[in-house]
Amino acid sequence: MNSQSTCLVTGCSRGIGAAISHRLLEMGHHVIGISRNLPEFSPENFTHITADLSDLRSLPGILNDIATICATPDGVILNAGQGVFGSLEQFSVLRIEQLINLNLTSQILIARKFLPSMKSKQSGNLIFIGSEAALAGGRNGAVYCATKFGLRGLVQSLQEECSASGIRVGIINPGMVNTSFFDELGFQPGDKPDQHLIAEDVAEAALLMLNARAGAVIQEINLQPQKKVIRFL
């Protein structure tokens, strides 16, 4: 990716999204960040859009507003998501709908919005932040895994559809990352450095994809802490 490029980052206010935004800004890129809450940073080359991506009715208007700022981002990093776990029967219809809207459908719609201009430009990067839950189903993870499996399938299809247009599509599947993702859950990763990832690990993987040599594509990165430890609260 060239210097002073423009990247769209969803879920930019905290955790992985904030770490990716910080690294891009440090490198001199312009970042358009989307999140429900205002991030704590606001440098000159950062534009924030307040939005709840699970509200699909408002999403087309928000995307049209972003397109007036930048019709063709050089990179689109789709990170926004939420983890909610439990037996399938514990989920209401509304909760299932909200999780699928946020974790999967909104990402499909954002990619759909910018793909035509990227194809016309014959360049661009689409990076999706998946999860280890995209690789294997787990107990109490039926809805979450379904969204992440769907996301990985979307990426694999887009890789086939977009390669001839010069667009690079990739997915990063991290294991447990020590962020606020776990604040409302009944478990957390281990607290030792080799028992969890940090948000900056995922940010570096995203930069590796973005900065790959022109003509080369890093299609998938599976990232894990050296030791898998889960602490139940």
Specify the CATH number for the domain of residue 45.
Answer: 3.40.50.720
Q: Which two tokens stand for residue 131?
A: 């999860």
Residue 37 lies in a domain: yes
Whether 45 contacts 29, CB under 8 Å: yes
pLDDT tens-digit readout, 15-74: 999 999 999 999 999 999 999 998 888 788 999 999 999 999 999 999 999 999 999 999
How many domains does the chain fold into? Answer: 1
Q: Which two tokens stand for residue 230?
A: 């889960």
pLDDT score of 77 = 98
The candidate with the shortest Cα–Cα distance to 63, out of 17, 8, 103, is 8
pLDDT score of 110 = 97
pLDDT score of 182 = 83
Residue 193 lies in a domain: no
pLDDT score of 3 = 73
pLDDT tens-digit readout, 101-117: 999 999 999 999 999 99
Q: What residues make up the domain containing 120?
A: 6-175+198-220
How confident is residue 123, by pLDDT bands cut at 50, 70 and 90? very high
Residue 125 lies in a domain: yes
* Distance in angstroms (rounded) separating the CA atoms of residues 160 and 2: 24
Residue 98 lies in a domain: yes
Residue 210 lies in a domain: yes
Residue 93 lies in a domain: yes
pLDDT score of 92 = 96
Residue 189 lies in a domain: no
pLDDT score of 187 = 84
pLDDT tens-digit readout, 71-89: 999 999 999 999 989 999 9
For the entire predicted model, the pTM comes to 0.94
Cα→Cα distances 181→45, 82, 112, 188, Å: 27, 7, 27, 9
Residue 71 lies in a domain: yes
The candidate with the shortest Cα–Cα distance to 166, out of 131, 203, 118, is 118
Whether 79 contacts 53, CB under 8 Å: no
